[in-house]
Structure 1
Amino acid sequence: MGRIGSYLGQNNYRFRGEFSVLLHSFFITPNNRKVEAFIKHFDLDVEIHQVNFRERENQTDKFLAMNPMGKVPVLVDGDLNLWESNAILTYLATVFPQTHTLPADPKSRADVDRWLHWQSCHLMPAMGRLKTDEDADPVTLLQPLFKVLDIQLQDKEYVCGELSVADFAIAAYTLTKLGRQYDYSEVSNVAAWRDRMAQLKGFIETHYKAPGT
């Protein structure tokens, strides 16, 4: 695939195959799927290892040395052990700049960061409550959030205008089983954006692994 390496500084790249980046993942969760979808969509030179939770692989000394939280995803790049899915997304977008998914301009970058935080601070907790609380009302929890997102998507194909890591982070939650059950008829911009994201190569290739998520 030619020059598809990691970013080493201004205008410096490595050729594909000169290094090994490893993602420890568990495809069934949206925080892992967002990273896997990003890697697969751009054909990044990153190996994906599915962690065996039945065998408690995440509780071994070797794994806990990478992430003391015992959770996935974890990205290993040389001596870097990086956990937290959105941190991994922004790192990959930085070391693989050919994805053009993380703006260099400070204001544009801040906008992407804002929506990454929105996903982790607002959307993820709401989805989590729907999964664990059978009395939780999806309209009450999600409608205020999706109305905000709908306004943001007015006259835009993607959350921040161009495709960015924020789209992968948010879409991974809207494309879960819970996300598919929500009625998007009152947030048409979100509905159209969600359909576009579902057709991206990365989300198509990660969907078959996790039917029902």
Structure 2
Amino acid sequence: MKIYWIKAQAPRRVLALAKHLGLDAEFIESNGKMKTPEYARLNPNMKAPTMVDGDVVLWEASAIMAYLCIKAGSDMWPANNPAEQVEVLRWLSWNDQHWAKAVGDFYFEHIVKATFHIGPPDRDALPDKVPELKRFAAVLDHHLEGREFVACQRLTIADFQLAAMAHYWREAEMPLQEFRQVTRWLDRLAQIPAWADPWPR
């Protein structure tokens, strides 16, 4: 199995999961290689992550995470439980449609720009984004009351999906201090070794 990655939030989810599950894979850092014809044949979006496992080629982190769980026999993706699948899918979709958009500008300005050396954060662009972030943080905060994880009363790929950008909430100056259930959940995930340090050496 090969997993192509760059140091960004979507590959982070896949790398952390592969490490957490103890999967044997070749991790190929792809900075500067994603615009090549060879890579485009694997992933026409020319983005990361991409996974190749024999004849199976997958892109999109959520699909790759589900595949890795099936391969490892892990119920972090509940392949054999349709009701739990629906619950996980609900949160994967909520992330993509609401949460990722709400936290994404903060993540971009403070983390992406620093990682890829594309200038300082534009803090003046962020105040208008605060109401939307707080709106959806309140939804997640309420949901996490009395819960350790987002779905199925255990760690699932939904946790890794939702935490991918929010993990950096302090460095990215996301105004999440008042949402104590969210920050508690993020701090708990940070205690998982593979999530705290997912990057290949």
Which TM-score tier does this pair reach, normalised by the shorter chain? 0.7 to 0.9
* Letter of the 1:135 counterpart: A
Q: Equivalents in 2 of 1:100, 1:106: separation in Å?
A: 12
Corresponding residue for residue 112 of structure 2: none
- TM-score with structure 1 setting the length: 0.79
Equivalent residue number for residue 125 of structure 2: 135
TM-score using structure 2 length: 0.83
For 1:9-54, what per-residue CA distance to the aligned partner results, in whole angstroms no more than 9, with x for missing partners? xxxxxxxxxxxx1100002x1111111111112221222111032x
In structure 1, stretches of 5+ residues that fail to align are: 1-20
Distance 2:98 2:61 in 1: 15
Give the superposition deviation at 1:136: 2.8
Match of 2:101 among 125, 134, 157: 125
Distance 2:176 2:200 in 1: 23
SS in 2 for 1:59: coil
Alpha carbons 1:127, 1:178 under 8 Å: kept: no
Distance change in 2, residues 1:179/1:108 (3 Å):
farther
Between the aligned partners of 1:184 and 1:113, the Cα distance in structure 2 is 24
In structure 2, the partner of 1:47 is 26
Q: How far apart are 1:178 and its partner, in Å?
A: 6.6
1:1-213 equivalences under 5 Å are 21-27=1-7, 29-53=8-32, 57-97=33-73, 99-103=74-78, 104-130=80-106, 131=108, 134-137=124-127, 138-160=129-151, 161-176=153-168, 180-206=172-198
Partner of residue 17, structure 1: none
Identity %: 31
SS at match of 1:40: helix
The alignment yields a C-alpha RMSD, in angstroms, of 2.1
The one-letter amino acid of 2:58's match is: L
Offset at 1:110? 0.4
SS of match in other structure, 2:197: helix
Cα separation, 1, equivalents of 2:98 and 2:137 = 11
Aligned residues: 184
